[in-house]
């Protein structure tokens, strides 16, 4: 268990914008930050972070909360794991009791897979540095690759003994279950036999963006032709190779800072680049590039530079990956290395300045790269040249941005010496076919959605009371502890005319006291259970404390309540996502008149409840047993009260 003192230190120190900035590229937007949602596939930012309130809100998925809840949502951390991650990030010492074998057994399956992977990582590192076999074979291999001790330690490289079940026996002896060893793929079980998957291999741990161990890559060092040179962990609940990039954990900050990501093929390419000083580099680990991997990069930058060795066949096979990058709306450049060189060997043989200079001078636009590869294949054959041009235009058609498409068409016309009009006509044909295919698919699925469409066509009525209760929670959170001058309109008989008039009376009080007393006066109750619980919790906190901290209040809530509060507080921030002010649409600043906002909200709620009560009375008159005369008198009283409240509301709104 983590001590409350440690948890308090973490909450006090952690900055939500810094924590989320490790996973999402955030750009300043007024007093807030905005970025692409890490929870959905989008090209326009709908993710907001408020440094002042220390909360975040994702308008595309509806999720929100504080730094801890972000880690729980994004990294699937448990609460203790999120606290530990933040403690490590901010160098806070955690006070906790040691986890017993019994507690390990009680941990849920997913957490157990992480625990097993973490243990394996520590074991492989210890084997590399502490055993004779590890030092003689594994460490020697890394040294031959030119890796320094610091880099070996940073990337947590390791070694698996060339024995059938050395790791498995060690893990079982430490209390880890065979079931989880098998699920992670660390141990292969065949009937009664069990043996280590990575026997006799140097180990490359694969990290999540937050540094958790998800799986491993292992390279064999013997000349066994039957064994694969590289072996990865199999798919598991925590390891999905199509959604992971090797090195992203170490590269994420540099990628955001440099606003560019270098994409290579292998583990050693990443490590060698990093050691040379180019840290914004990741690898797809030998697998075909996927849309999910590209979107991981897109959270941090819109620019990718793909690095290839001099192997022409490998470059042609990678052209599909370039098209995938273009489809995601990203900018892609390509850099190749001299024949016989790859990113690993080239980085090893050159200094930081030489490497960066080469990358800058030789990185070319994707059209130039694609043309250079395909034109060689065409070999002056006009038919093949036409196919090459169509291939390039097909890639351009995948770009979502219309301006970029036009610029690339002009560039293609220049490089391939062909009319722009012909290329634009070809592009239109490709787009038309794509539109027709998509439209055909939509029509095929239309029948399945007919019922849903007819239901959606009926406008849902706004739940007025829900919205007003939500507004009261917002006011309490933002201004509850502020002292303001409130103007109450009191009924009084005019001395001259004898008519009833509304006379203003000003008194100073704290916002939460005004709201509490007004609601008490009319015995108004919250109908939404979440809002009711939050209302009494906030009022209680405001009564007890001289100063009310939104951040502290949210931190002590459960995840569901924290998400509700975050959604309320960040609702207005979505206006800034679309630069409304630039279009002369100016959202009203609530800070300008807090008393007016409070009075307007309370009066609106009173009027709504009166309308609701009158509607109930009207229903009562339809029953035969009802006392119609008495009901009519009550309705008159309520309508008279509403008239007075409406006059008050009119004065409040009109100022």
pTM: 0.69
What tokens appear for 552 in the block? 């502290």
Q: Domain residue spans in the chain? A: 4-89, 101-239, 248-431, 464-574+588-654
What pLDDT, on the 0 to 100 scale, is given for residue 553?
Answer: 85
Judge residue 367's burial from the number of C-beta atoms within 10 Å of its C-beta, 0-12 exposed, 13-18 middle, 19 or more buried. Answer: buried
Q: Report the C-alpha gap between 220 and 136 in whole angstroms.
A: 14
Correct CATH for 101-239 of 3.10.450.50, 3.20.20.70, 2.60.40.10, 3.90.980.10? 3.90.980.10
Residues 68, 192: Cα–Cα separation, whole Å = 43
Q: Measured between alpha carbons, how far is 75 from 78 in angstroms, rounded to an integer?
A: 9
Mean pLDDT, range 567-584, rounded to an integer: 62
Q: What percent of the chain has pLDDT over 90?
A: 30
If we measure between CA atoms, which residue out of 221, 196, 222 comes closest to residue 120? 196
* pLDDT score at 468: 87
Q: Give the separation between CA 369 and CA 333, rounded to whole angstroms.
A: 8
pLDDT higher than threshold 60 for residue 170: yes
Rounded distance between C-alpha atoms, residue 367 and residue 653, angstroms:
60
Residue the block writes with tokens 């849902």 = 460
Residue 487's contacts (CB-CB under 8 Å, 6 or more residues apart) are: 504, 505, 506, 595, 599
- The closest alpha carbon to 283, from 299, 295, 267, belongs to 267
C-alpha to C-alpha distances, 580 to 246, 574, 576, 586, 629, nearest whole angstrom: 39, 10, 6, 7, 54
Distances (CA, A) of 76 to 154, 212, 638: 24, 11, 53
Of 352-361, 481-490, 558-567, which has the strongest mean pLDDT?
352-361
**Whole-number pLDDT of residue 404:** 87
Would you tell me how many other CB atoms lie within 10 Å of the CB of residue 209?
Answer: 20
What is the share, in percent, of the chain residues with pLDDT greater than 70?
A: 79
Write out the DSSP string of 173-212: HTT--HHHHHHTTSEEEETTEEEETTTTEEEEEEE-TTS-
CATH 3.40.1360.10 fits 248-431, yes or no: yes
The 10s digit of each residue's pLDDT in 229-270 is: 889 999 999 999 998 999 999 999 899 889 999 999 899 999
- The CATH T-level fold of domain 4-89 is DNA Primase; Chain A (3.90.580)
Q: If we measure between CA atoms, which residue out of 370, 390, 387 comes closest to residue 430?
A: 390
pLDDT score recorded for residue 43:
77
Closest CA to 392 of 366, 429, 417, 414: 366
């Amino acid at each position: 268990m983590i001590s409350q003192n440690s948890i308090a230190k973490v909450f006090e120190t952690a900055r939500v914008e810094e924590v989320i900035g490790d996973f999402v590229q955030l750009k300043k937007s007024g007093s807030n930050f905005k970025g692409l949602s890490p929870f959905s596939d989008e090209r326009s930012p709908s993710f907001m972070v408020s440094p002042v309130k220390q909360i975040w809100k994702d308008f595309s998925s509806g999720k929100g909360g504080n730094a801890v809840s972000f880690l729980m949502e994004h990294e699937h951390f448990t609460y203790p794991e999120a606290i530990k991650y933040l403690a490590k990030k901010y160098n806070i010492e955690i006070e906790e009791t040691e986890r017993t074998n019994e507690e390990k057994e009680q941990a849920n399956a997913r957490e157990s897979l992480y625990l097993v992977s973490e243990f394996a990582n520590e074991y492989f590192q210890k084997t590399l540095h502490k055993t004779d076999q590890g030092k003689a074979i594994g460490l020697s291999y890394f040294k031959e690759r030119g890796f320094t001790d610091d880099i070996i330690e940073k990337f947590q490289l390791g070694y698996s003994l060339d024995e059938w079940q050395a790791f498995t026996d060690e893990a079982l002896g430490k209390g880890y279950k065979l079931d989880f060893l098998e699920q992670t793929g660390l141990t292969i079980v065949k009937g009664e036999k069990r043996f280590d998957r990575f026997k006799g291999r140097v180990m490359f741990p694969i990290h999540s963006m937050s540094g958790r161990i998800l799986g491993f890559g292992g390279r064999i060092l013997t000349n066994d032709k039957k064994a694969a040179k590289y072996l990865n962990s199999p798919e598991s609940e925590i390891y999905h190779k199509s959604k992971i990039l090797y090195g992203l954990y170490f590269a994420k900050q540099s990628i955001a800072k440099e606003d560019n990501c270098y994409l290579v093929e292998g583990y050693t390419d990443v490590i060698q680049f990093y050691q040379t000083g180019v840290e914004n580099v990741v690898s797809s680990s030998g697998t075909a590039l996927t849309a999910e991997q590209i979107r991981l990069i897109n959270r941090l930058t819109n620019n990718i530079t793909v690095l290839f060795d001099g192997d022409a066949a490998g470059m042609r096979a990678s052209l599909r990956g370039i098209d995938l990058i273009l489809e995601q709306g990203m900018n892609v450049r390509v850099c190749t290395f001299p024949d016989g060189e790859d990113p690993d060997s080239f980085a090893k043989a050159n200094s930081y300045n030489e490497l960066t200079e080469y990358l800058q001078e030789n990185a070319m636009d994707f059209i130039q790269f694609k043309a250079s590869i395909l034109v060689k294949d065409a070999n002056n054959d006009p038919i093949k040249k036409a196919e090459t041009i169509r291939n390039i235009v097909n890639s351009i058609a995948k770009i979502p941005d219309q301006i970029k498409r036009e610029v690339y068409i002009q560039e293609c016309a220049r490089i391939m010496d062909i009319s722009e009009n012909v290329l634009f006509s070809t592009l239109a044909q490709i787009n038309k076919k794509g539109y027709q295919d998509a439209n055909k698919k939509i029509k095929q699925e239309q029948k399945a959605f007919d019922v849903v469409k007819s239901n959606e066509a009926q406008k849902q009525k706004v739940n007025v009371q829900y919205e007003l209760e939500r507004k009261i929670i917002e006011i309490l959170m933002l201004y509850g502890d502020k002292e303001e001058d409130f103007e109450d309109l009191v009924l009084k008989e005019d001395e001259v005319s004898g008519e009833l008039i509304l006379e203003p009376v000003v008194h100073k009080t704290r916002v939460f006291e005004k709201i509490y007393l007004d609601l008490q006066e009319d015995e108004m109750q919250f109908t939404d259970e979440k809002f009711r619980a939050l209302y009494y919790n906030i009022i209680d906190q405001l009564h007890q404390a001289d100063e009310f901290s939104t951040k502290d209040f949210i931190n002590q809530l459960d995840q569901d309540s924290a998400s509700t509060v975050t959604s309320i507080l960040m609702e207005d921030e979505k206006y800034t996502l679309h630069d409304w002010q630039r279009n002369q649409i100016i959202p009203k600043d609530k800070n300008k008149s807090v008393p007016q906002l409070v009075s307007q909200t309370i009066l609106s709620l009173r009027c709504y409840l009166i309308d609701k009560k009158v509607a109930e009375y009207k229903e009562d008159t339809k029953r035969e047993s009802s006392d119609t005369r008495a009901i009519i008198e009550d309705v008159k009283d309520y309508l008279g009260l509403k008239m007075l409240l409406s006059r008050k509301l009119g004065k409040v709104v009109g100022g």
